[in-house]
Amino acid sequence: MSDSTSTYICNACGWVYDPQQGDPDGGIAPGTRWEYIPDDWVCPVCGVGKEDFECVTKKPDMAEENNSEQVQATASLVIVGSGLAGYAVARELRKRDTSLDITIITRDGGEVYSKPMLSNAFARKHQADDMIQKDGNTMAKELGIEIIAGTTVLGIDRNTQQLMLQKNGENSSLSYGRLVLALGADPRIFPVEGQQLVDISTVNDLDDYRVWREKLNPGDHILLIGAGLIGCEFANDLVTAGYQVSMVDPAAWPLARLLPEQIGNMLVDALQRAGCKAHMGRTVIRYTANESGLQAELDNGTIVKFDHALSAVGLVARVDLAREAGLDVQAGIIVDRFMRTNDPLIFALGDCAQTEAGLLPFIAPLLAESRVLAETLTGNETKLQLPAMPVVVKTPALPLIVCPPPVGADGYWTVEQSNDEAVAVFQSQDGTETGFALAGKKTELQKSMAKRMPDLLPAEDATLESVTEVSKADDAQNYECDVCSYIYDPAEGDPDGGIAPGTPWEDIPDDWVCPVCGAGKDDFTAVS
């Protein structure tokens, strides 16, 4: 049993349950120990259950006092990046090997914080520093690793296995035995006429949040560009915190690639009721500034006056370092199922990596990646496989969970909607369910719906198995007579009609007839 001070970290989003604070919004009073939280309680940030939390036990300091100024001459395993992916793999490695030399290099401060909470931090009245769970020195001691913070990796020399580093304008180098790239992704900004007049913000890390927060004055009007997952979360957060928000997106409804139209429209209604003005199907064509302030002209002529602009139009994986080092890159750094690049000594995970399942810029996939990578790096080569991984959209105006169908999937949504709740299932043309979306109270169906979905990245041998199983199932398919409803079951056959038990439908002679009504084979239909 934990003590009253044991904290628990959400493996999905990094949020930490601290018994002293409880989770009053989720009905958990301050002072509630972990054991006494009901089993159906979910993470207030990302919605996963108690089983996805891990006790954060205070580890004995494994390292000498961390000296982030010092650059080592050699390091056997170097991780670039101290985001959730970089730290996740360091933690997983340490669980498996207590003596491995691990160094993290990061251009930021090395603080641990929950990036998903950046998009609901205003409503929670969090300053940037409130979000820091641990600083780099604490992490270095707890994990027994070295953290070289404030240091940018400028290049990778694969021949000499050296990283070129820069800190405060000074260059140095560091050797690596094996290298893990956990570089994350950069926010995209679409160029628009007059953009130089506007200081367009993006919030993709703690430092961005700090700067963004300092810009805003109470009641300011914010132009929010992008109504995707993160854009809608920011919109909801900012209106809840008392700002005026005008959200603009060329798509006809928000989260257009993840939601069917009906649920997208429910979200628009909910956000508008919360105070956000949504300009869907519109783009900003020009920015202007005059004595009354900044304004954006939309493609239908609408003028939106605003004080600050926030862009949330997607991310671009950080691939430049890898590309310049001659590694294979497409939209992300290409990795195989072991998270290995085309250089056997270099690996990648998190937002910068592109697996067979494509780019997966979410927490649950990066945690799964960190586990298989740690296994492989400690000598137990393990292939990545991913179940369906629904994502919680943090829009309290309309709680949503999305499990998107594969990109470009050919199929259709079926939506059951009543008042402010809905269940939508995406089916491919052959009827297979490949995605879903839940709104309002129906979000409680998350786990049962996820079980119905195919794996995001099936186990390679499981793929074979399931193919075999499907063909066996086909062999074992029953057939129903359309005329009299007699069922032909291959296991039973039709001994009186000369068909031995175990005969699949395909092997029955064409002149065989239904033993009940005499209809021919043509009058039978496959049934499950």
Ligand X SMILES: Cc1cc2nc3c(=O)[nH]c(=O)nc-3n(C[C@H](O)[C@H](O)[C@H](O)COP(=O)(O)OP(=O)(O)OC[C@H]3O[C@@H](n4cnc5c(N)ncnc54)[C@H](O)[C@@H]3O)c2cc1C
What are the residues binding ligand X (CB under 6 A)? Answer: 13, 46, 80-86, 105-108, 115-116, 118-119, 152-153, 182-184, 203-204, 230, 318, 321, 350-351, 361-364, 366, 391-392, 394
Give CA–CA dist 202/390, Å, rounded. Answer: 25
Shortest separation between residue 410's beta carbon and ligand X, angstroms:
26
Shortest separation between residue 389's beta carbon and ligand X, angstroms:
8
Shortest separation between residue 332's beta carbon and ligand X, angstroms:
10
Shortest separation between residue 373's beta carbon and ligand X, angstroms:
12
Bridge-based pairing state of the strands 244-249 and 276-280: parallel
Nearer to ligand X, 7 or 106 (CB): 106
Nearer to ligand X, 13 or 267 (CB): 13
Name residues whose C-beta falls within 8 Å of residue 191's C-beta, 6 or more positions apart in sequence.
none
- Helix, strand, coil shares of the chain, percent, nearest 5, are 25, 30, 45
- Which sign, positive or negative, has the C-alpha torsion 144, 146, 149, 155? negative
Integer angstrom CA distances of residue 235 from 178, 223, 317, 426: 42, 10, 24, 27
Nearer to ligand X, 203 or 384 (CB): 203
Exposure string over 32-59, b if 16+ CB within 10 A, otherwise e: bebeebeeebbbbbbbbebebbeebeee
Nearer to ligand X, 169 or 431 (CB): 169
Shortest separation between residue 309's beta carbon and ligand X, angstroms:
16
Nearer to ligand X, 223 or 392 (CB): 392
Nearer to ligand X, 105 or 346 (CB): 105
Give CA–CA dist 476/494, Å, rounded. Answer: 14
As given in the structure block, the two tokens for residue 465 are 């198995």
Shortest separation between residue 123's beta carbon and ligand X, angstroms:
13
Give CA–CA dist 318/361, Å, rounded. Answer: 12
Taking a C-beta distance cutoff of 8 angstroms, is the pair 212, 118 a contact?
no
Give CA–CA dist 182/191, Å, rounded. Answer: 28
Shortest separation between residue 202's beta carbon and ligand X, angstroms:
9
Shortest separation between residue 185's beta carbon and ligand X, angstroms:
6
Nearer to ligand X, 47 or 144 (CB): 47
Nearer to ligand X, 133 or 478 (CB): 133
Any long-range contacts for 412-419 (C-beta under 8 Å, 24+ apart)?
A: 413/260, 413/437, 415/260, 415/262, 415/263, 417/262, 417/263, 417/266
Region for 251 from its dihedrals, namely left if φ exceeds 0, alpha if ψ lies in -120 to 50, beta otherwise:
beta
Per DSSP, the three-state class of 310 is strand
Bridge-based pairing state of the strands 152-157 and 162-167: antiparallel
Return phi, psi of residue 86, to 5°: -60, -45
Per DSSP, the three-state class of 126 is coil
Shortest separation between residue 467's beta carbon and ligand X, angstroms:
30
Nearer to ligand X, 53 or 479 (CB): 53
Nearer to ligand X, 165 or 423 (CB): 165
As given in the structure block, the two tokens for residue 463 are 């793929």
Shortest separation between residue 229's beta carbon and ligand X, angstroms:
7
- Which sign, positive or negative, has the C-alpha torsion 84, 87, 93, 95? negative
Nearer to ligand X, 43 or 296 (CB): 43
Shortest separation between residue 47's beta carbon and ligand X, angstroms:
9
